[in-house]
Amino acid sequence: MPLRKAPAVLWPYPLASAKGVVVINRYTRPAMGAIWELQNKFSIWKEIEVLACEAQAELGQAGITKEEAQWIRDHADFTVERIDEIEQVTNHDVIAFTTCMAEYIDADVPEGKEKPSRWVHYGMTSSDLGDTALSYQITQAIDIILDDVKQLGETCKRRAFEFQNTLCVGRTHGIHAEPMTFGMKFGSWAWALKRAQTRLEQAREVAATGAISGAVGTYSSIDPYVEQYVCEKLGLTPDPLSTQVLARDRHAQVMCALACAAATLESIAMQVRLLQQTDVIEAEEPFKKGQKGSSAMPHKRNPITAERVCGLARCVKANAQVALDNVALWFERDISHSGTERVALADSFIALDYMFGKMQWMLDGLQTYPAKMEHNVWRTKGLIFSSKVLLALVNTGITREDAYVIVQRNAMAVWEDIQNAVDGPTYRERLEADPEAKLSKETLDEIFDPWDFLTRKDEVFKRLEGLEF
C-alpha cells in the first residue's frame, strides 16, 4: 500500500478528529485539544523510538549503527489511519504503531538488505513508550494551563487596584458583616491563583519523568544510558526506580493540582453568580449585544458562563478521585489505570483550559456597579457597624458581656424592622435613644464611618503589589 507522510513536528497540530480521546468540541480550545490528539501522541511515540535508536547506536552495544539510526530518523513515519487498521488485527496499540512505523522505515530499503526497523523498540516495553510519552504530553498540557493561570492572575491583580477604593459590604454566611473594598475580592482571587500556579509547577516537576527500563524496570535488556539519553532530549528526568510503569502517584498529584485549580475557579465563579443576583446586583458577567437570556422571560440576564464554570469544575474534581484510585496497581504493573487515564486526563485538562478561557473573559469584562455596592452597605440600616459599637462601649468601662447585651438588643430591633419591611429607626438612631448606650456624637460619627474599618487596607494592597506570576 502507498505510504502517506505525517507532519514532522511534535506539536501543535490543527484540531482534527479526536478518535481515542473523549472530547466535546464545545469545550475544547485548539491548542489544548491538539495535545490529546492521536496525531500528537503518536508523534511523541515516534520521537521516543527514534531517540532510543540513536542512543543505542551511540552506545554501540546492540548492533545498530549510526547510519541505521540516521536512516530510521529520516524514514520513520506513521498515519493514524494505518495504525488503527493494524490495531483491528493486533488488538495492541503499541504493536500496531511499531508495525506501521516499520512499514515506512523499510519501504525504500533495497531488496536483500537488512531491515533497519528491527532496531525499533529494542529492549523496550509498551510502558516505556506509553508512560514516557504521556509524561511529555502532561508537561505540554500543564504549560498551557500555567499560561492560563498567569493571564487570569494578572487580570485579577490589575482589577484589584482598579477597585482599591471602591466601597462594598463584606458578607459572612451570606449575611452583611463589615465594610471592605471590591478590590479586595479581586486581590484574594489573585492570591488564590498564585497558589494554583505553585501547585501546578510542583506537579509539572513530578510529572516530567520518563522510564525506559524494560520489563519490571530492571534494565534487563536495555542500558540505562538509553533512558538517560531519551529523557534528556525530551526535557524529562529518568525515574530512579520505575518498576514496569511510572508510579501513578505522580499522575494523581497532577490531577489533584488540576482539581484545586478548578475549585478555585468555581469559587470565583460562585461569587460572580451571587453578586449577580437581583437582590444584590453589584456585578455581573458581560452580556453581549444581541445576547438572549431566558427563552420565556426576555428581561433575564443569567450568569450562564459562571454557572458553566461551576458545573465543569465538578468533572475535574471528580476525575481527581479517578487518578487517586489509579495509584494502587497490582505488583509491578497492571493496566487498570490505562483506560481511565485516556478519559480523565484529557477531559480534565481540556475542561480546565476552557474554564480559564471563560473566566478570563468574565473577569476582564466584569460589569461592576459601585453605586449599588455603596447602597448595599447601608441596606441593614447601620447594623454592620455593631462590632465598633461593642468596642466603644467596652472602652467606656462596662464589661464586654454588658456591652454585648446593649448592642444586640438594639440590633435585633432593627433586624425585625428589616424582616417585616418596616421603615423604622436606623441602628444609630436606636443607640442614640438607648440610655445605656452612653456614646458621644463624635464617637458615633467615627463608628458609623465605613472607611474607619479600612484604615489598614493599604497594607493589603502593598502586599499585592509584590505578587508576580
- Annotated catalytic residues are 173, 294
Q: At what angle do helices 38-59 and 93-106 cross, to 10 degrees?
A: 60
* DSSP code of residue 2: P
Residues 468, 165: contact at Cβ < 8 Å? Answer: no
**Cis? peptide before 370, omega within 30° of 0:** no
Q: Phi, psi (5° rounding) for residue 249?
A: -65, -25
Grid cell in block for residue 313: 469544575
Query: Exposed, middle or buried: residue 367 (CB in 10 Å: 0-12, 13-18, 19+)?
Result: middle
Residues 357, 148: contact at Cβ < 8 Å? Answer: yes
Number of CB atoms found within 10 A of residue 229's CB: 20
Grid cell in block for residue 378: 447601608
- The alpha carbons of the chain give a radius of gyration, in whole angstroms, of 31
CA 274 to chain centre: 22
Residues 150, 197: contact at Cβ < 8 Å? Answer: yes
Give strand pairing partners of 284. 367
